[in-house]
Amino acid sequence: MRKSIVLKSAMLLVGLVFFLSCGTDKKKIDYPKTDLTTSALIPKPLKMIATNSAFGLDSKTVIYTDQKNNGFQEVGDFLANKIKTRLNLEIPVNNTVDVSVERIIYIHQTDTLESDAPEAYQLYIKNDSILLNANTAAGAFRGIQTLRQLIPEQSNDTLSEQPMWLIPTGKIDDAPNFEYRGAMLDVARHFFTVEEVKKYIDILAYYKYNAFHMHLTDDQGWRIEIKSWPKLTEIGGQTEVGGGAGGFYTQEEFKDLVAYAAQRHIQIIPEVDMPGHTNAASFSYPILNGNGKTLEAYTGTHVGFSTFDSRKDTVYSFLDDVIREIAAISPSPYFHIGGDESHATKKSDYIHFVEKVEKLVQKHGKIMVGWNEIAQAKISPSSVNQYWNEPHNAIKAAENGNKIIMSPAKKAYLDMQYDSLSKHGLHWAAYIPVDDAYNWDPESYVEGLSKASILGLEAPLWSETISNSFELEYLAFPRAIGYAELAWTPAELRDWNDYKKRLVGQVAYMNYMDVNFYRTTLVNWEK
């Protein structure tokens, strides 16, 4: 049955392509001259060649995809959906009955790309066809983001009876420089709703991010339901910075977020921060506490005062439960244990703790990730170190064989203010104006750290000073768009002046998405 569908589809495709290549009775369209290489694409693709004509996306276009149950059809559906909501244009996917087809977007699995990176893709854009080749559905998904960015705001209504959105013709060969391209959101200091998180994920997907790290627990709140330890959310989930109501995700809601991100080929990395940053957990279950003090709910913004009792067996059976329950609903290979700023934990206790927790993470089938401090412990080479403030620990980790995620606070922290007038944010690490956020190189930032040790880049957004999408977006955008390019595009192809122009080209999308971005005066937004 399946076989015959596949065969039928293949024949249909051959017919379509034949029709497109020799349709003699089709009206010749006089497309205006275009230049693919000057399109406002972010991240900038590796290679582009312009052929200076156009593909007219219109009601006579169909999408056709590989249908081998490999996720390509879903990518086609995603694209059709975005075209429908943005342009109000209904494009059928793998269904050519009842339409007069004149143009085709073909999303195709291939093993013949130059790059074998799973997210590599290739676009051939001609007058009547767009061919998107990719090794995997993830690559096809990145490719359709490029395509979305090439669709202009305005249709041209003079070339044919129906409106056409003109996409510049040419060829794009693209692949990411780093395999890990992440953003982090702290949902612990302030809680963000499922809808708010989804909106952020949507925008990240448009710029080819593939990882979303959720900082789920901290002193001020515990945000994920753990069925075997219900007080974590009954008590620990009810607070946040400033005394607000807090909140938490049920496991069902978390699964929904994971699925939403997965549809966008983004993995969610859950973080349970420990042994410090644990006031909310210890306040919910005082047996976990290791700082010897009577606990109260915490709604301030200090760090470094809380700790689990790293010498107590109960703490590890608790963590066994927590990691098991989260691992069961989290398909990402990674589990983040935090490990930062444990100033209330004795160094020997800290090391003992990290080594024991690494075993628990591995027992539940995950790779441990931790902030750079974890390099003090003896950990296995497969674990990942996230650099934020201590180059010596990043180097130590690399020498141990660990991969590094680059998140230097002075350059990549989205919660740093743009300048002294910024409405939200902190500045303990630096002020990070939009150009400084862009003008650095994750590959050479830490002296002595080689590219081979770097897994990728992540931009963390801590939420002490923000509590809703409007404030989140003020800090995240436009800087997160620049980090997308730092993670995808190699240094030789990056240039601030060229980037600035392409950034202006994002305004239409941001307005369409209702994104509250910071209109830095470093960029001429009017153009």
The CB-of-201 to ligand TNX minimum distance in angstroms stands at 21
C-alpha 351, offset from chain centre: 31
The CB-of-141 to ligand TNX minimum distance in angstroms stands at 30
Amino acid symbol at 450: S
Q: Which x/- pattern over 187-226 shows residues binding ligand TNX (rule: CB under 6 A)?
A: ----------------------------------------
Nearest to 258 by CA among 217, 208, 323, 214: 214
161 is catalytic: no
The whole-angstrom separation of Cα 133 and Cα 112 is 9
Provide the b/e sequence for 244-281 (b: ≥16 CB within 10 Å): eebbbbeeeebeebbebbebbbbbbbbbbbbbbbbbbb
The whole-angstrom separation of Cα 67 and Cα 45 is 27
Nearest to 145 by CA among 166, 170, 178, 121: 121
SS3 88: coil
The whole-angstrom separation of Cα 477 and Cα 523 is 13
Nearest to 336 by CA among 207, 455, 170, 476: 455
Assess contact for 308 and 273: CB atoms under 8 A. Answer: no
Site for ligand TNX in 244-303 (CB under 6 A): 303
Site for ligand TNX in 87-106 (CB under 6 A): none
Nearer to ligand TNX, 76 or 370 (CB): 370
* Contact flag: residue 241 with ligand TNX (CB under 6 A): no
Nearer to ligand TNX, 303 or 493 (CB): 303
Number of residues that bind ligand TNX (CB under 6 A): 10
Amino acid symbol at 62: V
- What are the structure tokens assigned to 254, written together? 């978390």
Site for ligand TNX in 386-425 (CB under 6 A): 388, 413, 415
C-alpha 264, offset from chain centre: 9
Nearer to ligand TNX, 219 or 309 (CB): 219
The CB-of-424 to ligand TNX minimum distance in angstroms stands at 12
The CB-of-369 to ligand TNX minimum distance in angstroms stands at 12
Nearer to ligand TNX, 212 or 413 (CB): 413
The CB-of-463 to ligand TNX minimum distance in angstroms stands at 8
The CB-of-211 to ligand TNX minimum distance in angstroms stands at 16
The CB-of-413 to ligand TNX minimum distance in angstroms stands at 6
- What are the structure tokens assigned to 182, written together? 């992440």
Out of 426, 434, 459, 475, the residue judged to bind ligand TNX by CB under 6 A: 426
Nearer to ligand TNX, 80 or 184 (CB): 184
Between CA 380 and CA 468, with CA 331 as vertex, the angle to 5 degrees is 105
* Contact flag: residue 462 with ligand TNX (CB under 6 A): yes
The CB-of-341 to ligand TNX minimum distance in angstroms stands at 5
**In this structure, how many other beta carbons lie within 10 angstroms of the beta carbon of residue 430?**
16
CA dihedral in degrees (472, 475, 479, 481; nearest 10)? 10
Nearer to ligand TNX, 87 or 211 (CB): 211
The whole-angstrom separation of Cα 524 and Cα 504 is 7
Site for ligand TNX in 331-390 (CB under 6 A): 340-341, 371, 388
Nearer to ligand TNX, 8 or 423 (CB): 423
In DSSP notation, 449-467 reads: --GGGEEEEEEEE--TT--
Nearer to ligand TNX, 147 or 457 (CB): 457
The CB-of-425 to ligand TNX minimum distance in angstroms stands at 9
Instruction: Report residue 426: phi and psi, to 5°.
Output: -120, 175
Assess contact for 418 and 432: CB atoms under 8 A. Answer: yes
Nearer to ligand TNX, 243 or 331 (CB): 243
The whole-angstrom separation of Cα 160 and Cα 163 is 7
Out of 240, 341, 373, 473, the active site residue is 341
- What are the structure tokens assigned to 426, written together? 């902190």
Longest dimension (CA), the chain: 85
Return the active site residues.
Answer: 341
Residues within the interface to ligand TNX (CB under 6 A): 303, 340-341, 371, 388, 413, 415, 426, 462, 464
